[in-house]
Amino acid sequence: MPERFGSRPAIVALIALALAAFLYVTTESLPIGLLPLMARDLGTSASAVGLLVTGYGLVVVVVTLPLTRMTRRIPRRRLLCVLLGVFALATCLSAVAGDYWLLMGARMVTALSQAVFWAVVTPAAAGLFRPEVRGKAMAVLYAGASSAAVAGVPAGTWLGQQAGWRTVFLVLGGLGLVVLAVVAAVLPGTPAGRGAADRGSAPDRGRYLVIVAGTATAVTGAFAAFTYIGPFLTEVSGFAESSIGPLLLARGVAGVAGVVVAGYLADRHAWHTMAGLTGLQALALAAQYLLGGSPVATVAAVALSGFTMSGLTAVLGSRVLTHAPGTSDMASAGMSTAFNVGITAGAFLGGVLLPLAGPGGTVLAGALLSLVAFAVMLAEPAFSSRAATVASPRLGHAGTR
């Protein structure tokens, strides 16, 4: 990678943080792929194992903001090392848990570390690079998270089937220790609050709040449709159950492409990219609903929705770093909370609609919510606090900054 992008230590640190994101997302979602194995081994039901994922997500929603506020004075390198240490130990504890409730406890501890990780990793990674290339740096970081669906969960599921689910968690914990060592060695020990990306480059409370609202709405729409994509593919599009895995893999690959494209565009066209991706999501879900009887059209729509959702995730990082009204870690915490609220609300809405309107109803709801989010994103400049400041004669020239 050319020197003009960043120094070698910065690039190594970025790759390590991207791998950490990969490990967190894989660990969060892995029980879905290992559900039958874990249920049999622990002597519990499949729905109880499913709660290992649901409970994990709820913990992240509830504790992200308060924990980020409590830890905001800790230097980023030290904090990230502690978080990765907690991840590694709790994940290894998950591997040796003798009963369901010990496993649940270990998962909740992992979720606590993940809640703070997502708040601090974006400004920590961005602060390693010049402002003009931070969008690309965010693409690398979030490519790690997106790759979990493409490689992490499938590979973990395969390894669990070959060597047992506990082996997978031990491997993840061991990789966490490796990442911890790299982060400790190469991430700068910048004092808290003095990083290059610790404040927004163009602070704007109005635009930030619109981004939060639009994100929560878009993610709710995406997950209202995606949570129950299996029934849609089999009942509406006529795919065999054995086809669901390959179709989700195709969606994941398209998601990685979305991260790359968003990273390329985000440095110069962040608002347009975010609004455009949200509009494309509405179009993709509308096409899935209207053309769901066509297998070819369904594959294209599902891939496009994966492209847009992952791309939207990637561009969010650079937008938060631009418009954070206070510290960037608290702004990232607010965005992470909004994102996870959207996931939870979307899954709940889809579950309510499925028996009432069928799989098609969940996709239609997702399309309509995405259209609302698109309208919100388009209106964002009208809510700019900076525009109001510039217009105020009392602030004079200072308001133009």
Q: What is the pLDDT of residues 322-340, one digit of tens each?
A: 888 878 888 888 888 888 8
Does residue 200 sit within a domain?
A: no
Residue 151 confidence (pLDDT) above 70: yes
Please tell me whether residues 176 and 217 are part of one structural domain.
no
Banded pLDDT at 194 (limits 50, 70, 90): low
Banded pLDDT at 200 (limits 50, 70, 90): low
Per-residue pLDDT averaged across 121-135, rounded? 84
Please tell me whether residues 228 and 265 are part of one structural domain.
yes
d(CA 201, CA 318): 10
Does residue 398 sit within a domain?
A: no
Q: What average pLDDT does the chain have?
A: 86
CATH of the domain at 25: 1.20.1250.20
Assign 316 to helix, strand or coil. helix
Assign 43 to helix, strand or coil. coil
Backbone angles phi, psi at 58, to 5 degrees: -65, -40
Q: Number of folded domains in the chain?
A: 2
Please tell me whether residues 219 and 359 are part of one structural domain.
yes
Could you tell me the residue range of the domain that residue 348 belongs to? 205-389
Please tell me whether residues 228 and 296 are part of one structural domain.
yes
Please tell me whether residues 48 and 93 are part of one structural domain.
yes
pLDDT of residue 250: 87
Task: Give CA angle at 78 (17, 115), nearest 5°.
Answer: 60
Please tell me whether residues 254 and 154 are part of one structural domain.
no
d(CA 193, CA 107): 30
Does residue 329 sit within a domain?
A: yes
Per residue in 242-262, pLDDT (tens digit) is 887 788 888 888 988 898 888
d(CA 4, CA 336): 30
Does residue 378 sit within a domain?
A: yes
Does residue 194 sit within a domain?
A: no
Please tell me whether residues 176 and 265 are part of one structural domain.
no
Please tell me whether residues 165 and 261 are part of one structural domain.
no
pLDDT of residue 214: 94
Per residue in 260-311, pLDDT (tens digit) is 888 788 777 889 999 999 999 999 999 999 999 999 999 999 999 999 998 9
Please tell me whether residues 149 and 25 are part of one structural domain.
yes
* Among candidate residues 138, 154, 186, the one where a domain is terminated: 186
Lowest mean pLDDT among 16-20, 193-197, 229-233, 234-238: 193-197
